[in-house]
């Protein structure tokens, strides 16, 4: 199985992220109030923290975040051409081809020429792909539960709603998703 390889951004996240002993260290060193007062700073630091956990947990489980994203799109069934998958995820189309090659090698997807348009490939998830997606969802659910443990259920819903509101403002794909939920 291929591995998640984002060495440059992972190395940066290690450099920019707090080490495991950070909560105690932060109390003794004290982060500047200017940074603690910045929502953007907090989002960035939390993003790094969850990325580190997710990357290592994914690797240990034999998963890949890019593979998970593609399988999640395919599970909804609406995006089955390579171009539609790339557009839905905001991936460069040439990058997606490599991801699909890996998924196909692992037996998680199948690609076939579209019988109506030979220039396009139709992508479908295999039974093994569905099992892999179930394993990946389990890993993500565990990571999310552990990471959000300090928040009660209502706070988690509020946080999610606010993040979706921000995401929808900055990316039309999120706005379309939110409109679809309300209708």
Is 74 a member of any domain? yes
Q: The tokens 């390889």 sit on which residue?
A: 5
Is residue 56 in some structural domain?
A: no
Give tens-digit pLDDT for 71-83. 999 998 866 788 8
**Model confidence over 18-27: pLDDT tens digits?**
445 455 554 5
Average confidence (pLDDT) over 57-68: 82
Q: Is residue 2 part of a domain?
A: no
Distance CA 51, CA 55 (A): 6
Decide if pLDDT at 179 tops 60. Answer: no
What domain range is 163 assigned to? Answer: 151-183
Element of type H or E holding 173: helix 172-182
In a domain, 88, yes or no: yes
Cα-Cα end-to-end distance for the chain = 40
d(CA 70, CA 28): 43
Q: Is the residue at 103 inside a domain?
A: yes
Radius of gyration of the chain (CA): 19
pLDDT, tens only, 95-124: 999 999 999 999 999 998 888 888 888 899
Angle between helices 93-105 and 65-76 in degrees, nearest 10: 90
Question: Which token pair is 145?
Answer: 């539960």
How many structural domains compose the chain?
Answer: 2
| Domain shared by 123 and 71, yes or no | yes
CB 75 within 8 A of CB 103: no
Domain shared by 77 and 119, yes or no: yes
Instruction: State which H helix or E strand residue 109 sits in.
Output: strand 109-114
In a domain, 125, yes or no: yes
The 10s digit of each residue's pLDDT in 1-60 is 444 444 434 443 444 444 454 555 545 578 899 999 999 999 999 999 888 877 787 778
């Amino acid at each position: 199985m291929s591995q998640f390889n984002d060495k440059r951004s992972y190395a940066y996240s290690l450099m920019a992220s707090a080490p495991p002993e950070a909560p105690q260290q932060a109390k003794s060193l004290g982060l500047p109030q200017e940074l603690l007062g910045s929502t953007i700073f907090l989002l960035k630091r939390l993003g790094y923290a969850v990325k580190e956990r997710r990357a290592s947990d994914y690797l240990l489980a034999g998963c890949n975040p890019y593979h998970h994203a593609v399988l999640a799109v395919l599970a909804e069934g609406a995006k089955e051409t390579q171009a539609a998958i790339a557009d839905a995820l905001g991936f460069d189309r040439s990058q997606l081809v490599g991801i699909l090659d890996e998924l196909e090698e692992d037996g998680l997807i199948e690609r076939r020429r579209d019988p109506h348009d030979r220039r396009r490939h139709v992508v479908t998830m295999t039974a093994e792909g569905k099992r892999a997606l179930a394993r990946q969802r389990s890993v993500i659910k565990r990571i999310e539960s552990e990471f959000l443990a300090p928040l009660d259920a209502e706070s988690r819903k509020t946080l999610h709603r606010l993040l979706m509101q921000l995401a929808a403002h900055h990316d039309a794909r999120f706005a379309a998703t939110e409109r679809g939920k309300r209708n």
